[in-house]
Chain A
Amino acid sequence: MATAAWPGKKDRSLIGKSITRQDGPVKATGRAKYSYDLNPPGLLWAKPATSPHAHAKLVSIDTKKAEALPGVKGVWKDTDLIGEEVRYIGQIIACVAAESEEIATEAVALVEAKYEVLEHQVIDNDPKFATGRASEQEVGKVADGFAEADVTIEGDYGVPVITHCCMEPHGQVTEVRGGELYAWPSTQNVSRWADRLNDSVGIDRAKMHVDCQYMGGGFGSKFTYDKWGVIGTLLAKQTGRPVKLLLDRDLELAIAGNRPSGYTHIKLGVKNDGAITAFEGSVVGTGGGGGYRLRAFPYVFEPKNRKTTMKGIRTNRGGQRAWRAPSHPQTCLLTFSALEDAAAKIGMDAAAFYKKNLNLTARPDVYAEELDIAMKMIGYAEKAHLRTKLDAGPVKRGLGIAMHTWGGLGHGSECRVTINPDGSVKAEIGTQDLGTGARTVVSIIAAETLGLPLEAIDTRIGNNAYPASGGSGGSTTTGGISVSTRMAATDALNDLLGHAATKLGVAADKLEAKGGRIREMGNAAKSMSWADACKMLRTGSISKTGQNNRTEAQKAGLIDAGVGGVQIADVSVDTETGVVTLNEMAAVQDCGLIVNMKTCESQVFGGVIMGITSALFEEALYDPTTGRMLNADMEFYRIAGIKDVGTIKVHMMTGEEYEKRGIIGIGEPPVIAPAAAISNAVANAIGVRVPYLPLTPERVLNVLA
């Protein structure tokens, strides 16, 4: 009788190993078809017409000229918006569908709209634009904490609005046939992408077929159908033809999601021995037109006396969306900048300062162990210096540390595993692979459970016809899909073992599946091949659906939540040009039981690189006069290239203590700390804080001037 508990290390043939992702070859050869790549017969191209004003009342929309352009086949107007306000440049007001992309682009320029222009506001960092009531929270008594302190430091720090900049833009191909919708969106939520879409398009939810085999990046911004999903569906319905609607890059950057800013003033009280006594921080920031709140502030270190206030700035910019580890990268930067400034103020080594205060964290032992490992990896003992002892010469080197935390409990998920009489195995699950290797994870768990090689599993994902699985956000996928797959495969296997038991004359609960055979536990002599066992199913396949019941699974040690990580950056700063060069980054991370070491490490490398990118390059820049995003392109909205990220070393915490917790997600944690670590390293290198990200040459030169 197979059980759902994860096998111990010596019994694992696949789990925890370094396994090459299964869809690697189709991607690397350009054969993988993403939503953007689908060209069904009769395809029409749709392009949205958008508001050129950051804030205005929309008076009218006239699409006559666009409709008259030869090749235009469908037009949609947002009639509900007429008389209402448009709130940012790029807000969609109409859309045309045409025979070619060129014609659609040309037709959009012919859409005429009248507006009454209103005042706009796009500044994201000035408290004077903050509106509404501040949310305030006090734990302990900060006044007492500051009274206890020997030294008080104060500082301003900030993180700008950045965007997701998914390589594949948002959008989808849609087709309506016989009253049924066929949609191929670029999504991180295939099972529930279409939820509530029926409200807008008049097609029954049960008649919506959603498929996404490959998708070019989401990072939190692609959970639902969005306005373009509605428009694409309505145009498909109107024209009776498939419609491709994916955003051009300028819209992708300006309207398809961003990460809210956070600008703070922090006051920190410390004793001369380094103990933190009080923390007070006020934050303003914007997520566009909606509400604003950063969670987890102060970050990781929670002084007993702490007070925070938070206030939002409403801006006429595109709206915020979840961005890999929502809130954490911002609050990490804000908090850890203040922490290392405090250490510098009292002349204490940063690592020693953190160690002194680990009791203020949720997992002191984990952080202590990880910090020591990271320090060894970076050569801390040899390289570290106080902020008062700078390198001679124009290029100065420094180290900086930051830590992070994340939940990562597996999401709700169902998976169906089918064992066929011919020995073939199918795993079907309505999850999606964002590039995390989810497809391969399903195969690994099913193959491990059934004692088969990886290739024996026919894994099907990316379709809402399969058992539903959660959206891929918050590092919840690997845990969720692993448990549901494990449950289904275990259940199916037990059924098969029942068949084999009679033939082998061994009780089913004494049987196991290993190495492609069904055998008596510990007795390879009494066994039969997988194929022979399956042949006994003559009458039909075994098909079982497994579930991730989060509470039970966590209790059973299959999944867990809560990880820590420590990262140390080693940078060089050219004080005559302001250019910051990342020499090396050490990242130490735990995530419970690792399913696939190769793709897990890739997540950490990728997270660190994305964090480095935000530290050095990223900022959505808006023009105050026109309200337009000035760098809605990839030329001045910079992301790091291959030579910009230095040497990155990753260490995954493994071993019984970590593995017994079960699986914990890994997508978010590593992206959190890099910016704070790099900012601290720059401060350590040049002796002064560059308060606001990104750490561009101009910002560095400005603080040195």
Chain B
Amino acid sequence: MKSFEYATPRTVDEAVEQLAEQWGETEVLAGGTDLVTCLKQGLTAPKRVVSLKAVKDLKGISSTKGALTIGAMTTMGELAGNAGVQKHFPSLATAVKNIASPQLLSTGTVGGDLCQRPRCWYYRNGYGLLAQQDGKSLVTAGDNRYHAIFGNAGKAKFVSASSLGPPLIALGATIKTSSREIAADKFFQTPKSENERETVLNPNEIITAISVPLSGAENATYEIRHRQGLDWPYVTASVAKTNGGTKVVLGHVAPTPWIVAGNDAAQGAKPLSGNGYKVKMVKTAVKRALAAASNGASN
């Protein structure tokens, strides 16, 4: 790990000022569960790390005007343990509980979950976010069992690692940042070059809060995982049913959370050489999430 300087701003404005306008020059430190690993892996070598720990007003969950507002520095454990979240948003509570590691729940933050970098093993082994070598995709030619089956026509083949993205999109949440409000379904993007990241955030923009409307939607998340303890899911499905219809959002199947039709969730899937099995998993996860939402019981 290269050395860096460390800033501890106390306000959102101060934090923004400490951040550079170019990706990679500075990094935002929230819970650290992903950033510290990225630093060790040399995936980023910032000159400055800006810690949000001392920034006021980024923590806590409050209920206002028909919405639940979750501070970006709220830990995942606080989110899952919140009575309002458990009552109204079992899909969020389940998505967090499935992370299964008390250590990650106590330190990982809501904002950090949305901004964490992909776990693609080509990326994590230093071959770049898009894993290109000599103009070819290492992913396509290699072991892509955990890679994208949707939205993989471009160079990006990794899957979004966010646990909260799918349920937040299904629930129609809004992401508030230091400079704007972004609908959750507009928050993630598929990078087209190594200089882009997986969200629409600017390098000097931080998430301040997430607002989830209390729409009364029946909602649930179903996750297919290998280990019962800490593990990355194969596929997750988050659903929210309202009178207006059913929203189904998949996790870990595309470079972003992926919105699908509930009655034909696998439509448009384009598996790579080694991940066709995920199509079956998508169907199962959606079926079980829909059933759970009706029963009021997430897995």
Contact = CB atoms under 8 A, between A and B. Distances in A.
A and B touch in the complex (CB under 8 A): yes
Interface of A: 102, 105-106, 109, 576-579, 616-617, 621-626, 628, 630-631, 633, 635-636, 638, 640-644, 696-698, 701-702, 705
Interface string B223-235: 0111111111010
Contact of A617 (B125, B226, B287): B226
Contact of B127 (A578, A621, A626, A644): A626
Given A579-B224, A643-B227, A698-B274, 5 more contacts: A578-B277, A630-B143, A631-B121, A644-B227, A697-B277
B125 A628 contact: yes
A638 B280 contact: no
Contacts of A628: 125
3 nearest interchain CB pairs?
A641-B229, A643-B228, A701-B277
Nearest to A698: B277
Given A628-B125, A635-B119, A640-B227, A697 B281 contact: yes
Interface in B202-228: 224-228
Interface of B: 1-3, 42, 119, 121-122, 124-125, 127, 133, 138, 141-143, 145-146, 224-232, 234, 274-277, 280-281, 283-285, 287
B227 A621 contact: no
Nearest to A640: B227
Contacts of B122: 623, 630
A284 to B, nearest CB: 20
A109 B142 contact: no
Nearest to B40: A105
B227 A577 contact: no
Contacts of A701: 277, 280-281
Contacts of B2: 106
Contacts of A697: 224, 226, 234, 277, 281
Contacts of A696: 226
Contact of A623 (B3, B143, B284): B143
Contacts of B3: 102, 106
A621 B122 CA distance: 12
Contacts of B138: 623, 625-626
A705 B284 CA distance: 14
A331 B119 CA distance: 34
Contact of A638 (B224, B226, B285): B226
Contact of B227 (A624, A630, A638): A638
Contacts of A642: 229
A701 B283 CA distance: 13
A72 to B, nearest CB: 14
B32 to A, nearest CB: 16
A698 B145 CA distance: 8
Contacts of A625: 133, 138, 141-142
Contacts of A698: 145, 234, 274-275, 277
B229 A624 contact: no
A105 B283 CA distance: 45
Given A624-B142, A626-B127, A698-B145, A577 B231 contact: no
- Which residue, A641, A696, A705, has most C-beta atoms of chain B within 10 A? A641
A641 B141 contact: no
B125 A577 contact: no
Contacts of A705: 276-277, 280
B42 to A, nearest CB: 7
B280 A630 contact: no
16 contacts: A102-B1, A106-B3, A109-B42, A576-B280, A576-B284, A577-B285, A578-B280, A617-B227, A625-B138, A630-B122, A635-B119, A638-B226, A643-B229, A698-B145, A705-B276, A705-B277
Given A638-B231, A701-B277, A624 B141 contact: yes
Contacts of B119: 635-636
- Which residue, A577, A578, A622, A626, has most C-beta atoms of chain B within 10 A? A577
Contacts of B283: 576
Contacts of B280: 576, 578, 701, 705
A577 B230 contact: no
Nearest to A624: B142
Contacts of A622: 143
Nearest to B225: A579
A643 B125 CA distance: 29
A555 B234 CA distance: 56
A670 B241 CA distance: 50
A147 B93 CA distance: 63
A641 B1 contact: no
Contacts of B146: 636
A644 B228 contact: yes
A502 to B, nearest CB: 65
A623 B226 contact: no
B160 to A, nearest CB: 16
A578 B234 CA distance: 11
A644 to B, nearest CB: 5
A638 B229 CA distance: 11
B109 to A, nearest CB: 20
A395 to B, nearest CB: 12
Contact of B229 (A616, A631, A644): A644
A643 B138 CA distance: 34
A278 to B, nearest CB: 36
A621 B276 CA distance: 18
